Amino acid sequence: MTELKQNIISIRPRENSGSSSSNRFDFQKDWAICKLLELHSKPEDYLLTLEHHDDIIIFDSSSDPTKISFYQVKTNKKNHWTLNELIKQKKGKTALLNSPLGKLFDHIIKFGDNVESLNFITNNKVKGVLADSSKCEDTSGFCVSELRNTELNEIIDALKSEHSLNDLKDFQKITFFKLGELDIDKHSDLAKARIVDFLDKNFSDLSYKIAPLYKSIFDEIKMKTDYEKSVTNFEELKARKSISRSDFDKYIKELESSNSIPNTTLSIENRLNTENVNFQAVQSFKAQSRIYELKKMSYNDKAFKKIEAQIRKTKSELIFAENSSLLDCQKQIITELNTTKLASNSLNKDLIATMVLYIIYE
């Protein structure tokens, strides 16, 4: 196991309040979606982790990472940020708290050379002047090393004092401000637009409905963000708090497989009509087929996928008579499955029966 995989678990995060407060903070989740799409558009491996040591952290590998980037996501609806706000320490119960930039620098103290970059993400701008005399607020982002000496020295002196250090290592070279990232009032619409752009560019033949697709990805981000229990190893961190390239690849494949659902639905409906299945049963299938399609688009519906796997396993173990009708095959599988036991609030018996028909047609 690499040193970074051990340290990210053994070094405890500063606090666990982030997950609770982030339940109300959708901007951060939408930014995470956009970052996920950006990472997936490149060929390199990645692991995006939510609310662990910082708002968002990104490893350079999902299996054996050696580098990690930290992202602090902040909103400021009315005013631009000032350097004083970014280096100001507020009073805590017993001592001064770390400033926003002080929190970022703390990652260098804890993780040393494993830190690839530190990033301050905001919907607004930062007031200041760069070394070339241009205003910080006129840019979409800048590196701390690009600041004018006046601003640069102010930050360096403040952080040295805050952390009682004489040397900040590579802080000014690896710390970045990303400004005007999304809009505080329209972040969900912008995230949806990024999803559309990503899919149209990389999967132009894919058919999808953006509203349920966005909700599916957002809910997955939310679930990972809101998980508050302590993780005990790197694999648990991946499973509970993270999304990897492999995870997102699997989701894209599920979306691609759902493209065939409309044609399969029509084939099943025609078969049922040919077999003179009663009108009510056909209508029930058509109604449940819409729910089935949405479930197939869901990012990580574990209950749905578990029952799908059980249906496939049961189907593979059965032998069907050559003259069996579609409903005969369905009933044979359902009898073996015991759908009454499998049914839940999100997956009723009618939906499970419809799932059986689709899996027969695979």
- For residues 214 and 281, state if they share a domain: no
- Within this chain, do residues 185 and 296 fall inside the same structural domain, yes or no? no
pLDDT at 301: 84
For residues 265 and 206, membership in a common domain is answered with no
Same domain, 15 and 143: yes
Query: Same domain, yes or no, for 67 and 11?
Result: yes
Same domain, 122 and 194: yes
Residues 215 and 352 in one domain: no
> What confidence score (pLDDT) does residue 24 get?
44
Report how many domains make up the chain.
2
Q: How confident is the model at residue 258 (pLDDT cuts 50, 70, 90)?
A: confident
Are residues 187 and 58 part of one domain?
Answer: yes
Question: How far is the C-alpha of 2 from the C-alpha of 20, rounded, in Å?
Answer: 30
Say what the pLDDT of residue 20 is.
41
271 shares its domain with 333: yes
Residue at which a domain ends, from 160, 194, 219: 219
304 within domain boundaries: yes
Residues 201 and 282 in one domain: no
Residue indicated by tokens 């599988």:
333
197 plus 147 within the same structural domain: yes
CA–CA separation, 66 and 165 (whole Å): 25
Query: For residue 173, is pLDDT > 70?
Result: yes
d(C-alpha 136, C-alpha 151), whole Å: 11
272 occurs within a structural domain: yes
* pLDDT exceeds cutoff 70 at 137: yes
Q: How confident is the model at residue 21 (pLDDT cuts 50, 70, 90)?
A: very low
Give the strand order in the sheet containing 47-50: 141-143, 175-178, 115-122, 68-74, 56-59, 47-50, 242-244
Mean pLDDT calculated for residue range 274-302: 91
Question: Could you tell me the two tokens for 202?
Answer: 């990389």
Residue 230 domain-assigned?
Answer: no
Q: In this predicted model, what pLDDT tens digit does every residue of 26-76 receive, in sequence order?
A: 999 999 999 999 999 999 999 999 999 999 999 999 999 999 999 999 988
Within a domain: residue 243?
A: no
Q: What is the mean pLDDT of residues 288-292?
A: 93
Residue 361 to residue 262: CA distance in whole angstroms: 13
The fraction of the chain above a pLDDT of 70, given in percent, is: 96
Question: Does residue 350 lie in a domain region?
Answer: yes
Instruction: Tell me if 286 is assigned to some domain.
Output: yes
Does residue 232 belong to any structural domain of this protein?
no
Mean pLDDT score of the chain: 92
- Residues 109, 32 share a domain: yes
What's the whole-model pTM score? 0.86
239: in domain: no
**Which domain-ending residue is among 186, 219, 252?**
219
Helices (H), 129-209: 149-163, 171-174, 187-202
Looking at the chain, the number of H-run helices and the number of E-run strands are 17, 7
User: Of 219, 251, 280, which residue sits at a domain end?
Assistant: 219
> For residues 296 and 289, what is the distance between their CA atoms, to the nearest angstrom?
10
Q: Which domain holds residue 322?
A: 261-360
Q: Give the three-state DSSP class for 77.
A: coil
